[in-house]
Amino acid sequence: MKIVVASDHGGFDLKESLRLYLKELGYEVLDLGCYDHNSVDYPDYGRLAGERVIEENCLGLVVCGTGIGISLAANKVKGVRAALCSEEYSATMARRHNNANILALGGRTTGVDLAKSILDAFLKADFEGGRHERRVNKIIDIEEGR
């Protein structure tokens, strides 16, 4: 499975740790940047990640200082459901009930070990469909202006 990863400078260190972790787990990782600590704008990377997740029909991971800004930007891309999670249960439920396709984390708010555990929970969960599909479709209707 392919995982798209992207961050701004505030999320760079955590993104790098998780990128390597994903590779160790055997995932194909597409790193869209940033590639160092130089200041960049999180909307650019949230958008890039969102567009590629939709194009590649895969999952994504975005990281900025808090995870808030980059998740807001990613969610502006049609079809993206990015979930900012700070613990494992929310990550699991984001996939199971909301069919989230991008996990957002805060590089300045989340330690590496916890981030790995949240990422594991996100990747291990699957969308349950059923009543949740009806609700996700309502989100899509809002996105479509219906």
CATH code of the domain made up of 2-144: 3.40.1400.10
Report pLDDT for 122. 98
Respond yes or no: is residue 37 known to be catalytic: no
- pLDDT digit string, tens, across residues 85-109: 999 999 999 999 999 999 999 999 9
Indicate if 64 belongs to the active site.
yes
Residues 9, 34, 85, 97: which is the catalytic one?
Answer: 97
Strand boundaries in the chain, DSSP class E: 2-7, 28-31, 59-64, 82-84, 102-106
- The pTM score is 0.97
Q: How confident is the model at residue 58 (pLDDT cuts 50, 70, 90)?
A: very high
Catalytic residue among 9, 34, 64, 85: 64
- What is the model's pLDDT at position 2? 97
Residue 42's pLDDT is: 98
